[in-house]
């Protein structure tokens, strides 16, 4: 939609027949990411290609790069797709990561360094929203978790005592120019992003360090496009990089309503070889995720019904975004609301009211 408002025609390749992006695009190619005919059709039309989903196979991007500008590159995406590659890249580029080890066999799992316990075992590939993870506190549990995750390559990280979680969206273009948005403070529920508060309530020096770290990561990757760098804050002021996402990110959705240039417009600008847009915020924002759970009246119900959106729209500074996903499921991200305000407290008050009205848990934690 951002690219279309700048005058570009957009074609979406998405295997789903009911594709949210496909339904607003000028054309939807419903084909698997590796389907040769689908890829050839896309290659014949598109002069520039990006990905909104990090598990698009690198081979698809490499094929498209023969005839189109592809950002981010297949090699950047490949690093972000694999936690082992990601961790060794991050550690090698001079940023701090949580203490971790790679697990490739039951033997390695069984004999893991006790200094990493208690810890979290994370599958190397295809994890998201806390899926593909298990918390462990003994070597036996590490072994059990490794097996439960399919005996496939994993990492184990020490469980850190987090003060908070923050993220920075950074854009970098082919000329190596970079821009970052204000730092988002991210609150999770059951491993899924619940709320982002912007600007993050952290000291200015730490916020500056977070933005510098994100820029450093993007430059080290020679990255082209929009990148999210998720970070942990521990011991008041220690910053560790958790993971990176090679695309516009949920914690950057607030930029649509709260910044001069959104992460999506910036993605289109990089793709088109244009100069970067200004990332200045208009003011504070609180982004609230809308999960499929609120389509169900109570814990026992199986038939979804549309939530009452007047609970959101009666607030004059709340911006509702629904993605048009066909099927609401518990834990599935269906949309979000950006609450604007003169202060963070004002935006938080709106977010609390909406949470209460839509029966989203965790009103008191806000």
Ligand X SMILES: Nc1ncnc2c1ncn2[C@@H]1O[C@H](COP(=O)(O)OP(=O)(O)O)[C@@H](O)[C@H]1O
Question: Which residue, 42, 47, 48, is CA-closest to 71?
Answer: 48
289 touches 194 (CB < 8 A): yes
Cα–Cα dist 226/26, whole Å: 23
Cα–Cα dist 192/213, whole Å: 24
Find the shortest distance in angstroms from Cβ 167 to ligand X. 9
Chain positions 206 to 235 lying near ligand X, rule: CB under 6 A, are 230
Span of 2-10, 87-95, 121-129, 352-360 interacting with ligand X by CB under 6 A = 121-129
Cβ proximity to ligand X: between 283 and 331 the closer is 331
- Lay out the site mask for ligand X across 93-112 (x = CB under 6 A, - = otherwise): -----x--------------
- What is the H or E stretch that residue 5 is in? helix 2-5
132 touches 117 (CB < 8 A): no
Cβ proximity to ligand X: between 156 and 224 the closer is 156
Residue 129 binds ligand X (CB under 6 A): yes
Q: Which 3 state secondary structure label does DSSP give 365?
A: coil
Residue nearest to ligand X (CB): 160
Span of 22-30, 119-127, 337-345, 353-361 interacting with ligand X by CB under 6 A = 119-127
Cα–Cα dist 249/283, whole Å: 20
Find the shortest distance in angstroms from Cβ 142 to ligand X. 14
Residue 41 binds ligand X (CB under 6 A): no
Span of 154-162, 278-286, 287-295, 348-356 interacting with ligand X by CB under 6 A = 154-162
- Of the residues 37, 128, 140, 152, which one makes contact with ligand X according to CB under 6 A: 128
Residue with tokens 């990110």: 249
269 touches 277 (CB < 8 A): yes
Q: Could you tell me which residues are beta bridge partners of residue 320? A: 337
- Supply the Cα-derived Rg of the chain in whole angstroms: 21
Find the shortest distance in angstroms from Cβ 233 to ligand X. 11
Q: Could you tell me which residues are beta bridge partners of residue 144? A: none
Residue 127 binds ligand X (CB under 6 A): yes
61 touches 117 (CB < 8 A): no
Span of 123-131, 147-155, 344-352, 356-364 interacting with ligand X by CB under 6 A = 123-131
315 touches 337 (CB < 8 A): no
Handedness of CA 232, 202, 264, 308 (dihedral sign): positive
Residue 194 binds ligand X (CB under 6 A): no
Find the shortest distance in angstroms from Cβ 246 to ligand X. 13
**115 contacts: CB under 8 Å, gap ≥ 6:** 99, 158
Cβ proximity to ligand X: between 176 and 191 the closer is 191
Span of 5-13, 122-130, 210-218, 272-280 interacting with ligand X by CB under 6 A = 122-130
Cβ proximity to ligand X: between 65 and 160 the closer is 160
Residue 125 binds ligand X (CB under 6 A): no
Cβ proximity to ligand X: between 155 and 340 the closer is 155
Backbone angles phi, psi at 167, to 5 degrees: -145, 155
Cα–Cα dist 200/289, whole Å: 17
Cβ proximity to ligand X: between 157 and 293 the closer is 157
Which positions touch ligand X (CB under 6 A)?
A: 98, 120, 122, 127-130, 157, 159-160, 162, 165, 188, 191, 230, 242-243
């Amino acid at each position: 939609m951002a690219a279309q408002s700048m005058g570009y025609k957009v074609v979406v390749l998405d295997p789903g027949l009911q594709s949210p992006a496909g339904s607003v695009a000028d054309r939807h190619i419903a084909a698997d990411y590796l389907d040769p005919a689908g890829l050839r059709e896309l290659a014949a039309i598109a002069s520039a290609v990006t990905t909104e989903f990090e598990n698009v196979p690198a081979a698809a991007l490499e094929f498209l790069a023969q005839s189109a500008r592809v950002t981010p590159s297949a090699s950047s995406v490949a690093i972000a797709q694999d936690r082992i590659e990601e961790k060794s890249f991050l550690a090698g580029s001079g940023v701090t990561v949580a203490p971790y080890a790679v697990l490739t066999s039951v033997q390695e799992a069984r004999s893991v360094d006790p200094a990493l316990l208690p810890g979290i075992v994370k599958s190397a590939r295809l994890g998201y929203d806390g899926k593909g993870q298990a918390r462990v506190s003994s070597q036996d549990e590490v072994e059990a978790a490794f097996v439960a995750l399919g005996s496939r390559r994993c990492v184990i990280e020490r469980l850190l005592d987090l003060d908070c979680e923050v993220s920075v969206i950074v854009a970098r273009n082919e000329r190596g120019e970079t821009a970052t948005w204000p730092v988002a403070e991210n609150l999770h529920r059951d491993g899924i992003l619940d709320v982002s508060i912007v600007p993050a309530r952290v000291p200015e020096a730490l916020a500056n360090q977070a933005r510098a770290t994100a820029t450093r990561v993007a430059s080290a990757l020679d990255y082209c496009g929009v990148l999210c760098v998720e970070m942990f804050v521990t011991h008041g002021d220690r910053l560790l990089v958790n993971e990176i996402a090679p695309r516009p990110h949920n914690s950057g959705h607030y930029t649509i309503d709260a910044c001069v240039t959104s992460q999506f417009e910036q993605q289109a600008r990089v793709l088109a070889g244009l100069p970067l847009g200004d990332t200045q915020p208009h003011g504070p924002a609180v982004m609230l995720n809308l999960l499929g759970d609120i389509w169900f009246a109570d814990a026992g119900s199986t038939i979804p019904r549309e939530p009452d959106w007047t609970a959101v729209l009666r607030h004059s500074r709340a911006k509702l975004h629904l993605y048009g996903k066909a099927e609401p499921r518990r834990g599935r991200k269906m949309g979000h609301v950006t609450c604007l305000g003169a202060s963070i407290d004002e935006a938080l008050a709106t977010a609390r009211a909406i949470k209460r009205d839509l029966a989203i848990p965790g009103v008191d934690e806000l």
